[in-house]
Amino acid sequence: MSTLERLWWIALGIAGAALLIMIGLIVARLILGWTGRAREEERRRLIPILLGARPPTRLGRSARGDLLAELSIELIQLVRGSDRARFVDAATRMGVPERLRHQLNSGSTRVRLSAAEALAEFPDEASVERLVAALGDSNAAVRLSAALSLASTGKAPPARALVGRLGIGTTENSLLTVSLFREIAARKPEEIRGLILDPSVPSGAKAAAIEALSASGDYSLVPLVTTLAVTCDSADEALPRYLSALGDFAHPAAEPAVKRGLGSPSWEVRAAAAEAAGRIGLVRLAAHLRERLGDREWWVRFRAGEALARMGEEGAALLRRSAAGATEPARSAAALTMAERGLA
């Protein structure tokens, strides 16, 4: 048989095999259609058990166990208060946490991820232990989900340890790390505060910690963050986030950081500083903001105009002066900001 003829037969073979598999899948789907109905029936049967209307039974590692786990999580996430506690209790007695812990050993990332998220509802000792072990999972999303679940039950390891294990600020840059720190800060604010003070913590993790605390109203953090923003490298990627958090605190003690930021070579820093100046109401920096109306970057001009518009009559007067006398692009920035805000 020649190579070309062999190619013909191989192609025929693999195409035939693919079609046979497809036919098998169609048949499987037909069967699934029937079992799908049975699954629906099973769901209907399980709901009263979870509602406490019927006594719970222990589960094996059967398909029914997966269904019950899935259904329990759906119901638990739907309700709050005593109903939620009742669902959690029924699901626990039926062995749902045990099944979820088992799923954390699955070879499928998707299954492990679901299990790590769902275990947030079951703060028992064995589940916490398993979630702590999942902080060493090979997949970053599973590790972060396990940390979020632990944090939501108040059983997270110390924040500094989490930073190291998850690589927060180095390999793990998800915005969900802010949610993670916020959850931890709700119970242990000192741990998150400790991250800001710790010089060994990467700046990305510090920024997430600062953002997590920025809505706390703890003004004692302002000098700390200001110092960080004043002393860090002007090219530090976390600097706009520091400034943005200072804007959230809206405390005038942030002025040195904002002033430095307005003169930064990075437009992202200048824009964040201009925005913070407006939110804090740093009228003393109004002249600097007016300069920034002529910035080469639109975001900076926009934020500077916005900040001046927030500063009452003093800011409006500067905008008016720029709209009348400045050169482009400052003139347009000022005129259009006033027009947009009804200050013209």
Partner 1 sequence: MSWWQSWGLWAAETIVLLVIATGLLQTFFYIVQLVFAGAALGRRPPIARASILWRRYADEAPGIALLAPAFNEEVNIVESVNSLLALHYPDFEVIVINDGSKDRTLETIVGHFGLERVERYHDLHVKHQPIRGLYATPRLPRLLVVDKENGGKSDALNAGMNVARALLFCSMDADSLLEPDALLRAVRPFVEEPRKTLAVGGTIRIANGSRIEEGQVVDMRLPTNFLALVQIIEYLRAFLMARLALSSMQALTVISGAFGIFQRQAALEVGGYSHGTVGEDMELVIKLHRLWREKKEPYRIDFIPEPVCWTEVPESLKVLGRQRARWQRGALETFFRHKKMLFNPRYGRVGFLGFGHILIVDVVGPLVEVLGYFLVPLLWGLGLLSIDYLLAFLAVTFTLGIFVSAATLILEEVELRRFPNARDLAIVTAVAVAENFGYRQLANFWRIRGWWQFLRKKQGWGTMTRKGFAAT
User: Which residues would be at the binding site for partner 1 (CB under 8 A)?
Assistant: 2, 4-5, 7-8, 10-12, 14-15, 18-19, 21-23, 25-27, 29-30, 33, 74, 77, 108-111, 113-114, 117, 139, 141, 173-176, 178-179, 182, 237, 298-299, 301-302, 305, 332-333, 336-337, 339-340
d(CA 121, CA 112) in angstroms, rounded, equals 15
Nearer to partner 1, 253 or 336 (CB): 336
Nearest approach, Cβ of residue 253 and partner 1 (Å): 26
Shortest Å distance, C-beta 1 to partner 1: 9
On the 0-12 / 13-18 / 19+ scale of CB atoms within 10 A, 331 is middle
Tell me whether residue 7 or residue 197 sits nearer to partner 1 (CB atom): 7
What would the two tokens of residue 233 be? 């490298």
Contact present, 344 and 335 (Cβ < 8 Å): yes
Minimum CB–partner distance for residue 71 and partner 1 (Å): 13
153 exposure class (CB count in 10 Å sphere: 0-12, 13-18, 19+): middle
CA-wise closest residue to 150 among 170, 169, 136: 136
Q: 226 vs 322, which CB is nearer to partner 1?
A: 322
Q: How near is the Cβ of 57 to partner 1 at its closest, in Å?
A: 27
Q: Any idea how long the chain is? A: 344
Which phi and psi angles does 52 have, rounded to 5°? 90, 5
Among residues 321, 324, 325, which one has the least CA distance to residue 308?
Answer: 321
Task: Report the nearest approach of partner 1 to the CB of residue 111 (Å).
Answer: 8
| Nearest-angstrom CA–CA distance, 93 and 58 | 7
Please report how close the Cβ of residue 31 comes to partner 1 at its closest, in angstroms.
Answer: 9
Q: What is the DSSP letter of 171?
A: T
Between 142 and 226, whose beta carbon lies closer to partner 1?
Answer: 142
Q: Residue 61 and residue 49: Cα distance in Å, rounded?
A: 18
